[in-house]
Amino acid sequence: MSNIQETIRSGKLPQHIAIIMDGNGRWAQQQGHERTFGHKNGVEAVRSIIEGAGELGIKYLTLYAFSTENWNRPKEEIEMLMGLLIQSIHNELEKLIKNHVRLMMTGRLSDLPESCQNALQDAIDRTAFNDGLTVVLALSYSGRTELTDAVRAIAQKSANGEITPSEITPETISNHLYHNEIPDPDILIRTGGDYRISNFLLWEIAYSELFFSPIMWPDFRKENLFDIIYDFQHRERRFGKTGEQVREQ
Ligand code: IPE
Ligand code: IPE
Ligand code: MG
């Protein structure tokens, strides 16, 4: 274990890290390749980050792999991405199982091609009882859609007389999101140099610490993640209180 890993492990670990894995296309184009070359090379970054998060003992890692808006991309790119998903699951599943990784997904599974749904569901089922790192793949995910689905479910309960409007609290909304059992992210990272959220986890990141990295996703490695976690451990999260109040706790 490297020095920085030892240092991080002696501090307070984030429970949940969420990553917007951006910059694949530009990374490839900068080298005169097709965008899809960047997606292929992005898999190595995913491998490194899962490995690094596992080594540190992080509980949850959510990876934004495909947004609802990404369905508007060229058909060939979408097909390539869906194929890459199946292939990556196929190649990595045994190693994930060996490393006690539990795989989950967030988003609308039913939007994906059937072959993807099957591969994903199989991997989710086969890792369901693993007690190491939980990796949540966000696929056909949209923060606004997740909130819309929650509002629909709550409205239905209200129509059934199970809840009155005045009983609806922020906790009610949290409890109706796709994964109410997962704590909100402590850290949100976006690679690729842009400063935006692109419809990711809108509700859940209310108090996340934000990190924007200029590194394109295919070049991102666990060492970059460790630097961010080290930085996180030196930030003061005040949650609305004063610094004095926080330090007295
Ligand atoms: C992120 O990289 C991967 C997906 C959105 C699927 P991009 O494909 O968005 O790469 P850039 O941002 O165009 O460089
Ligand atoms: C966000 O990246 C979605 C994923 C990384 C999966 P995009 O590349 O789709 O975001 P925009 O279009 O630049 O906002
Ligand atoms: Mg992008």
10-residue stretch averages of pLDDT, the chain, 249 residues long: 94 98 98 98 98 98 98 98 98 98 98 98 98 98 98 98 98 98 98 98 98 99 98 98 96
Pocket test for ligand 1, best of 24, 197, 200 (most atoms within 8 A of CB): 24
Q: How many CB atoms lie within 10 A of CB 33?
A: 14
As a whole number of angstroms, the distance between CA 6 and CA 120 comes to 34
Ligand 2 centroid to Cα of residue 190, in Å, is 10
Q: Whose CA is nearest to atom 6 of ligand 1?
A: 66
Q: Whose CA is nearest to atom 5 of ligand 1?
A: 66
Ligand 2 centroid to Cα of residue 35, in Å, is 14
As a whole number of angstroms, the distance between CA 99 and CA 183 comes to 22
Phi/psi of residue 237, each to 5°? Answer: -90, 115
B/e letters for 172-198, b = 16+ CB within 10 Å, e = fewer, are ebeebbbeeebebbbbbbbbbeeeeee
pLDDT at 249: 86
Ligand 2 centroid to Cα of residue 161, in Å, is 40
Crossing angle of helices 222-233 and 35-56, in 10° steps, is 50
Regarding pTM above 0.75, the answer is yes
Ligand 2 centroid to Cα of residue 142, in Å, is 11
For ligand 2, is residue 20 a contact (CB within 6 Å)? yes
**Residue recorded with tokens 């089922």:** 125
Residues sharing a CB contact under 8 Å with residue 238, sequence separation 6 or more, in sequence order: 245, 246
- 144 burial level (CB within 10 Å; 0-12, 13-18, 19+): exposed
The verdict on whether 22 is a catalytic residue reads yes
The verdict on whether 70 is a catalytic residue reads yes
pLDDT at 1: 80
The ligand 2 atom at the shortest distance from the C-alpha of residue 69 is 9
As a whole number of angstroms, the distance between CA 33 and CA 26 comes to 9
* Cα separations in angstroms, 108 against 39, 146, 153: 21, 9, 15
Going edge to edge, which strands form the sheet with 134-141?
Answer: 102-106, 134-141, 60-67, 16-20, 187-190, 209-212
Q: How many CB atoms lie within 10 A of CB 83?
A: 15
| C-beta of residue 188 within 8 angstroms of C-beta of residue 209 | yes
